Every structure is written in C-alpha cells, then in structure tokens.
C-alpha cells in the first residue's frame, strides 16, 4: 500500500463533510512525516509513516466532528481498513453485509419461541446461509438449546464463550459479532 493511501481514504471519508480540504490533507501528511522518527530500514520507516499518517488524520478530522458522529467515522474508517486488508483480518463481504443489514428469513415456526424472539430466529435462519454457519440453527434447536439459552441471556454474550464448537469464534471476533447480531434480540433486531 502506498504511504499516502491511509491519508487519501481518510480524506475521502471526510471530504464531503467540508471538514477537510486537499490543503489540510497535505498538511496532515507533512505533519505526520515530521512526527515520525527516523528508521534505518526503509520498510520500517514506511510502516511508521503509515501509522503516523493514520493517527494524525484521524485526530484532526475527529476534532471537527460532533461527539455523536465520531463513532460513525471510526466505524467507516475501520470498515475501509478491513476491506483493504490493512488490519490483517480476512474481509468477507457476505459476512459484512449480514452484520450491517441484519437480514432475516421468515420461516413458519420458531421452535425456540419460549426463549428466543421470532426476529432473532429469523436472523439465525439467514445466518445459516453463510458458509461456516450452516449448523448453527440445528445446534441451537437440538444439540444444546439450554446452553444457547444461557448464552443469549447473558448481559454481554459477545464476551462469553459460545456453546459447543462455536467457541472457536473467540479467535474471530468479527464472525462472533455476526452470531451476536443474528441470535440475540439485543443485537439490533
């Protein structure tokens, strides 16, 4: 990735808000260069510049945002970094869309209606269409319903290990958030 890429796409995110202009983007870039210490290796210097540019641009843009808009800006920046592979996690557009849109699939019957809201069951039905989650509904319904009920009733289920083999998602926080959004009534459904 070119050194100026983080600055460029952060500028792209903020330009339409009239909070930054091309002059400011150049200023951010120059300021980041001044703040970054010298390294013997070109690769180390470039990596340090990328981090410094990202931090400098974020700091300056965030200063001009209302508090309620800062989280949205951070989310947009994070999603863009995920899409470009900068954060090291594999980006899956289908998973990303599920997390953001919360799609559902209406089915005739919710077998867990005594403890799982219909909206959450419909989201689980859509979640099982994503590769890697095919067995999730079956596990909830037949294999360990009481353990899933306990997990869902946690105040912060995303901080607790999932039942059965789903605990492997602890090493994949993005995918674990999908399960949270797809199976709890507090997950934005």
Please provide the average confidence, as pLDDT, over all residues in the chain. Answer: 80
Which pLDDT score, from 0 to 100, does residue 141 have? 92
Rounded Cα distance between 2 and 50, Å, is 9
**In this predicted model, which residue has the larger pLDDT, 125 or 19?**
125
Q: Answer yes or no: are the C-beta atoms of 181 and 101 closer than 8 Å.
A: no
pLDDT band of residue 187 (cuts 50, 70, 90) is very low
Asked whether the predicted pLDDT for residue 15 surpasses 70, the reply is no
Contact 172, 161 (CB under 8 A): no
Q: How far apart are CA 152 and CA 146, in angstroms?
A: 10
More confident residue, 142 or 90: 142
pLDDT value at position 186? 47
Identify the band that residue 129 occupies on the pLDDT scale cut at 50, 70 and 90.
Answer: very high
Which pLDDT band holds residue 3 (cuts at 50, 70, 90)?
low
In terms of average pLDDT, the best of 35-39, 114-118, 152-156 is 114-118
Q: Give the pLDDT confidence score for residue 162 in this predicted structure.
A: 87
pLDDT band at 167 (very low <50, low <70, confident <90, very high): confident
53-77 confidence digits (pLDDT tens): 888 878 888 888 899 999 998 888 8
- Rounded Cα–Cα distance for residues 167 and 163 (Å): 6
């Amino acid at each position: 990735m070119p050194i100026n890429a983080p600055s460029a796409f952060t500028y792209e995110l903020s330009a339409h808000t009239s909070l930054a202009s091309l002059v400011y983007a150049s200023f951010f870039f120059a300021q980041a260069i001044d703040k970054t210490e010298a390294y013997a290796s070109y690769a180390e210097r470039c990596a340090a510049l990328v981090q410094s540019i990202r931090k400098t641009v974020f700091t300056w843009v965030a200063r001009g945002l209302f508090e309620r808009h800062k989280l949205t800006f951070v989310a947009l920046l994070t999603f863009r970094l995920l899409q470009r592979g900068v954060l090291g996690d594999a980006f899956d557009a289908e998973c990303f869309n599920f997390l953001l849109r919360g799609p559902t699939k209406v089915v005739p019957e919710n077998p867990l209606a005594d403890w799982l809201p219909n909206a959450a069951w419909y989201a689980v039905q859509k979640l099982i269409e994503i590769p890697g989650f095919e067995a999730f509904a079956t596990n909830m319904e037949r294999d360990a319903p009481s353990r899933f009920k306990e997990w869902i009733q946690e105040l912060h289920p995303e901080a607790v290990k999932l039942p059965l083999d789903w605990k492997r998602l602890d090493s994949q926080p993005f995918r674990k958030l999908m399960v949270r959004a797809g199976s709890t009534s507090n997950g934005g459904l």
